[in-house]
Structure 1
Amino acid sequence: MNLFIISFSILIFILFFLAFLALDAQVRKKIFKKLLDYRLLVIKVPKYYSMTKSKEAGLSDFCLSFENLLMNLTQIQEPIVFEIAVPTYEQEIFFYIAVPEKHIETASKLIQSSWHGSEVNLVEDDYTIFSPPTITKADYLKLVSHDFLPLRTYLEFAQVSQTVDTLDLILGAFTKVAKENEGISLQIIIKKAPSKINKRIMKVAKKLKEGKSLHEAMRSEFLEIILSLFTLEKEEKKEKKKLEEERKPKEEKVIQGLENKASKPLFYTNIRIVAAAPDENRTETLISSLEKTFHHFSNPPLNEFKIIRVPQKKILNFITEWSFRKFNESQKILLSSQELATIFHLPSAITKTPSIHWLKSKTAPPPVNLPSEGIILGKTKWRGEENLVRLTSEDRRRHIYIIGQTGTGKTTFLTNMIVQDIEQGNGCCFVDPHGDAALKLLSFIPKERIDDVIYFDPSDLNWPIGINMLEYDPNYPEQKTFIINELIEIIDKIYNLRETGGPMFEQYFRNALLLLMDDPALEPTLLEIPKVFADDDFREELIERCKNPLVVQFWTKEAPRVGGELSFENMITYITSKLNPFIANDFIMPIVSQKKSSINFRKIMDEKNIFIVNLSKGRIGDINSYLLGMIIVGKILMAAFSRLDIPEEERKDFYLYIDEFQNVTTNTIATILSEARKFKLDLIIAHQYIGQLTENIRKAVFGNVGTIVSFRIGVEDSEILEHQFAPVFDKTDLINIDNFNAYIRLMINGQVSEPFNIKILPPSKGNPEIVEIVKRVSQLKYGKPRILIQQEVRERFNY
């Protein structure tokens, strides 16, 4: 019978043990499942705008702000993880928070409201501090004395200086990490302690006030009852009186420290340090540097940190818990929000440690009424939610102005838009002063649109495309005036002739053009302008056939009477010396000498062709690039104005993209920006800095453009553009925004939106094999063999 009972008992024990193991396994499985649900967020703080308070905010203000954040985060009701790390292959110090996935939005909003202007982004792939082969060492922190006793807090540090950040004491160790193969991480996991702990601490403080020693005050109530059975009441009172009389000043500090800690929210806390490097000495150097920083928080005679080095045989299990961000009950210590904020808070304006991963520029939410259709400008990401940013055809008619330093993403931005226009069958022109983007654009031409392409490349000396600036449609006599005014603007822009030549130069030049363009028997080009001055017989023939009495009077009465430096003889040399460098060089002459333009600019617009203009300054020179650019832009504008002959609703949108637009536009751009909308010529103009613009053009741009896009700009420009993006962004943001990011003031349904930030989409890949095909088709359709052009010029000039 006894044997049966023993056997049965053993069986029951085994069953209970197995059940315990099964239950333990289930619990562990459940815990790790919850940990896998945690998501890591990287926190970036703007260096100069960490608070909404004044710039005089000090250590106490920043730490108190973080205390409030800790208290607000307790609504999550699950452990929260803070980390500071220098991941391997990084040189900056990153700040992280990890929370369950369902609490990402809550945590993000709380951080951004507490730390004004900060950005919280989901980390898709967790960082690592390991780069095998590596030696890893790890610590966790405990307290030397009882957990109730406080450490040194920021209030005591602030008594010395409000401008010295306690965070710098820790961050200094992170700056010692090498760029490659090394890493270090400080992990702090917190969970709210029950309020009864605060009450217990207050009881301890009360007992100290009653005269008990700290050791006695720390005893539990149960232990007090047991001990009271063996202690005579009389002796206890006598001892109490003696202790009250002999209470030392340090006990007052203990009481004050306990009461202060009890008045704050309390958190059970794990603090872990992990360091990794290729060799043991470097790893020891890294981890020791961080260990030493915690001595700054010692608060004698109350409490201080104790560093517990993890034995190598237990390092794997420790790293597993660190990786999964698992709270370990055996490693926990009790800290107040004040103590935590002293050790860890987000960086601020008083943080001096270099290499912090700051938020260089602020972000802002996109408008709630972002268009759902239209050309894609980029994407916006706000609090984890991504949206495409589009601009409708109607709003594009109010034009787009783009500014940004070289290499910031302007060309990619332009190319992305043009590619979409090409793919959507729109008519467009791209004037590229550098050439690379124009050439690359050819690789995006769909096969079905090859015939729509006109590729203009002045450096192609064998097949020049003809553009006769003096050519106009007699049905639109106003075009003649436009051409003359535009040419005078062009020459003046290049040579500043109005100052050097005076009003008389304009008189000579204007009347020479009128003499040529009024002649019914002539198809003049720019080549004939010097001939008007240099060839007396040619000029006399033109005067005889001229029907304009004012022009005849100028050449027969006024010009011969002018004496001195502005005499006709002197003006001949002056004007021809300015024109001949253009019309006589190998790039310009074959283009401007053709009587009939190879391309019909009005047809390009109406038939939605693709006009790609490669004005590479590196190949044809700056002046040639500017001259041809201004001629082409002038021709396009003239074609747009001729659309008056068709109803507005029948006019098709044509998109004119101009990079470095200040070089290829005259003051006529002011008229275009205000008037071109009705002709459905939609401008997208880009350049590098505002100083490139004249006062008139600058006023025209900011007075008429609907959408403004700013990539990173310089200090001077930020002073001007700040007004366009205030109050959301300021000049610090404008000069610090990363490459391929921009601030935008978007036109939406005819109204300008609040400014927000966008990220430029990466460029798509074209088809390099189609480039030569497109170029060749364009050559054959619009080019003319150089030898034929030279032959025609010789025949016209009899040489």
Structure 2
Amino acid sequence: MNLALLIFLGIFSLFIVFLLVILVLTRRKNSTTFPSGTTETIAEDIKVCLKIAVPRNNDKTPLAAEQLFASLHGLYKETSEVPILSLELATDAKYGVQFLVVVDKSFASFIKGQIYAQYPTAEITVVKDYMDSAANWDAAAQVSAGEIVLEREHIFPLKTFVDFDVDPLSGITGAISELHGDEEAWVQFVVRPYPNTWQKVAQKYIATLRDEGNNLFDGGGFWRAFWATISGFFRAFFESFTYDPTKPIQPIKAPTIKLEPYQEEEIKRVEAKAEKQGFQVVIRILAKSTDSVRAVQIFEGIAASFRQYATAHLNAFSLNLAKQPLEVFKHLKERYLSKNHIEILNIEELASLYHLPNTTGGATSLFVTTSGKLPPPPDLPIDEGTILAKTNYRGASQMFGIKKRDKRRHTYIIGRTGTGKTVMMRNML
């Protein structure tokens, strides 16, 4: 019996080691590592800050932003650096709410092209990083800052624009638009395309829920299977001493799992989220005022606007208020995105959080274009004649003039204001 016990303990020890190895390998398989060249910040010397404005009558829905992010997801490549994009809202009492994108300058042209493809009437200009203004803040400035994080694992979806009757962005822009004096507020979404491997966790969760009627993430799924394996091992060992080969083997009946209606809905929503591409995301908020109470009030108002995305029994945003706001400010300015802390939103969720304003937006202090611009004609004379002016369309400029043969068809009238140029032309009619 002592020999049998020693054999049992040896086999049991090997079994435990085997389980640990399988667990480690599974975790490594399900984890994603970015290519070695992938950075966690946008370096100061290579960043470009793009300010985007659209007309007040812009009729593009958040679906345009979803299609934009679907295109930007193509920036992910397994063998090269995965770029960081920072989608930002910046507001103060002077300029109102501004929409900005900060990106590595090597990707700026591609980003601009994709934005123009979805928002043809947009105007994109390269501007100085607005965060540089912090160097001129008054010494008495009070800052409140923090991050918005998911309450549950990222496979569980949030409410998106298809679930709203009004534009959800108006809740955020409304919260940051009522500023006075030197007050400022920033909302930052630092994102990076994520490979299509995170859906495996969703598939595993759904399979566990359907097979066991148990939530994988409440600790029951894995440990239930673990202890069932251990108890089955012990039971098989002790039953081996009383094994009767003449006794027929009883077939094992698979239990019938009946899911609750909310679990069926949960599976449906998790599957729907996993069908679309995902982005790694971190959300930061900063509010500045001359009064600490007012700074916290602005900050909490912005954070509260994210509660509208909560879904019952699924997921929601919660607030992590920073004890050291300067640390958050550093991450804001660097556009920091850790490769290890992973929270994923799919393109529909991301578009619900950040898209250009449209006619259904409620905020009135948005920075918008006052007039539309048309592209220059294809036959614009640029290689001959007298130079008269310069085009300015989508950031591209081109000097142009008037052809020599056209100069013969024009008459020049030169004179100071009030000398009668208009009257003379009227009399010539």
TM-score by length of structure 2 reads: 0.77
Alignment of 1:390-405 (within 5 A): 390-399=401-410
Residue 207 of structure 2: aligned partner: 206
**Residues 1:82 and 2:92 aligned together:** no
Residue 290 of structure 2: aligned partner: 278
From 100, 103, 107, give the equivalent of 2:104: 100
* Paired amino acid for 1:167: L
**Residues 1:268 and 2:304 aligned together:** no
Give yes or no for contact 1:270–1:331 (8 Å, CA) kept in 2.
no
Give yes or no for contact 1:137–1:275 (8 Å, CA) kept in 2.
yes
* Paired amino acid for 1:382: Y
Tell me how far 1:328 sits from its aligned partner. 3.0
Tell me how far 1:429 sits from its aligned partner. 4.5
Q: Distance in 1 between matches of 2:221 and 2:388?
A: 67
Q: 1:108-157, CA deviations, whole angstroms, 9 ceiling, x for partnerless residues? A: 11101111311222114545564323111111011112221111122221
Q: Distance in 1 between matches of 2:131 and 2:217?
A: 48
Alignment of 1:781-796 (within 5 A): none
- The 1:372/1:34 distance shift into structure 2, 3 A limit, reads same
Secondary structure at the residue paired with 2:106?
helix
Tell me how far 1:379 sits from its aligned partner. 2.2
* Paired amino acid for 1:69: L
Residue 24 of structure 2: aligned partner: none
* Paired amino acid for 1:84: L
Deviates more, 1:262-271 or 1:207-216: 207-216
Bigger Rg, structure 1 or 2: 1
From 644, 658, 668, give the equivalent of 2:428: 668
Q: Distance in 2 between matches of 1:352 and 1:33?
A: 33
Secondary structure at the residue paired with 2:197?
helix
- The 1:249/1:36 distance shift into structure 2, 3 A limit, reads farther
Residue 132 of structure 1: aligned partner: 138
- The 1:122/1:147 distance shift into structure 2, 3 A limit, reads same
Tell me how far 1:282 sits from its aligned partner. 2.0
Q: 1:222-260, CA deviations, whole angstroms, 9 ceiling, x for partnerless residues? A: x786444225499xx88943xx23x22111121111101
Residue 119 of structure 2: aligned partner: 115
Give yes or no for contact 1:40–1:123 (8 Å, CA) kept in 2.
yes
Tell me how far 1:70 sits from its aligned partner. 0.3
For the aligned residues, what is the CA RMSD? 3.0
Give yes or no for contact 1:47–1:358 (8 Å, CA) kept in 2.
yes
Secondary structure at the residue paired with 1:196?
coil
Q: Distance in 1 between matches of 2:279 and 2:38?
A: 25
- The 1:36/1:212 distance shift into structure 2, 3 A limit, reads farther
Give yes or no for contact 1:204–1:217 (8 Å, CA) kept in 2.
no
Q: Distance in 2 between matches of 1:214 and 1:324?
A: 38
Tell me how far 1:28 sits from its aligned partner. 12
Q: Distance in 1 between matches of 2:407 and 2:330?
A: 55
Secondary structure at the residue paired with 1:206?
helix
**Residues 1:42 and 2:47 aligned together:** no
- The 1:394/1:124 distance shift into structure 2, 3 A limit, reads farther
Residue 387 of structure 1: aligned partner: 398
* Paired amino acid for 1:309: L
Tell me how far 1:399 sits from its aligned partner. 3.8
Q: Distance in 2 between matches of 1:29 and 1:35?
A: 16
Higher RCO (CA-CA < 8 Å; seq separation 6+): 2
Secondary structure at the residue paired with 1:430?
coil
Alignment of 1:396-415 (within 5 A): 396-399=407-410
* Paired amino acid for 1:394: R
Q: Distance in 2 between matches of 1:83 and 1:433?
A: 47
Secondary structure at the residue paired with 1:40?
strand
**Residues 1:293 and 2:325 aligned together:** no
Alignment of 1:104-503 (within 5 A): 104-127=108-131, 130=134, 131-133=137-139, 134-157=141-164, 161=165, 164-178=166-180, 180-215=181-216, 226-232=226-232, 240-241=255-256, 244-245=257-258, 247-312=259-324, 315-329=325-339, 332-368=342-378, 369-399=380-410, 429-434=413-418
Give yes or no for contact 1:140–1:331 (8 Å, CA) kept in 2.
no
Q: Distance in 2 between matches of 1:148 and 1:29?
A: 24
Give yes or no for contact 1:41–1:98 (8 Å, CA) kept in 2.
yes
Tell me how far 1:212 sits from its aligned partner. 2.6
- The 1:374/1:275 distance shift into structure 2, 3 A limit, reads farther
Alignment of 1:725-740 (within 5 A): none
Q: 1:259-311, CA deviations, whole angstroms, 9 ceiling, x for partnerless residues? A: 01111111110100011112212211211110110111111111111100111
Q: Distance in 2 between matches of 1:348 and 1:337?
A: 19
Give yes or no for contact 1:66–1:341 (8 Å, CA) kept in 2.
yes
Q: Distance in 1 between matches of 2:224 and 2:396?
A: 58
* Paired amino acid for 2:46: D
Tell me how far 1:102 sits from its aligned partner. 1.4
Q: Distance in 2 between matches of 1:48 and 1:151?
A: 28
* Paired amino acid for 2:415: V
Give yes or no for contact 1:170–1:290 (8 Å, CA) kept in 2.
yes
Q: 1:546-585, CA deviations, whole angstroms, 9 ceiling, x for partnerless residues? A: xxxxxxxxxxxxxxxxxxxxxxxxxxxxxxxxxxxxxxxx
Tell me how far 1:183 sits from its aligned partner. 0.8
Give yes or no for contact 1:84–1:187 (8 Å, CA) kept in 2.
yes
Secondary structure at the residue paired with 2:414?
strand
Give yes or no for contact 1:378–1:389 (8 Å, CA) kept in 2.
yes
Give yes or no for contact 2:208–2:216 (8 Å, CA) kept in 1.
no
Tell me how far 1:43 sits from its aligned partner. 0.8
- The 1:230/1:185 distance shift into structure 2, 3 A limit, reads same
- The 1:76/1:396 distance shift into structure 2, 3 A limit, reads farther
- The 1:95/1:33 distance shift into structure 2, 3 A limit, reads closer
Q: Distance in 2 between matches of 1:283 and 1:304?
A: 24
* Paired amino acid for 1:132: D
Q: Per residue, is there more helix in 1 or in 2?
A: 1
Secondary structure at the residue paired with 1:229?
helix
Q: Distance in 2 between matches of 1:47 and 1:666?
A: 38
Tell me how far 1:185 sits from its aligned partner. 0.8
Q: Distance in 1 between matches of 2:49 and 2:263?
A: 43
Tell me how far 1:98 sits from its aligned partner. 1.5
Q: Percent identity?
A: 22
Q: Distance in 1 between matches of 2:306 and 2:254?
A: 39
* Paired amino acid for 2:160: T
Q: Distance in 2 between matches of 1:34 and 1:266?
A: 24
- The 1:127/1:359 distance shift into structure 2, 3 A limit, reads farther
Q: Distance in 2 between matches of 1:346 and 1:135?
A: 30
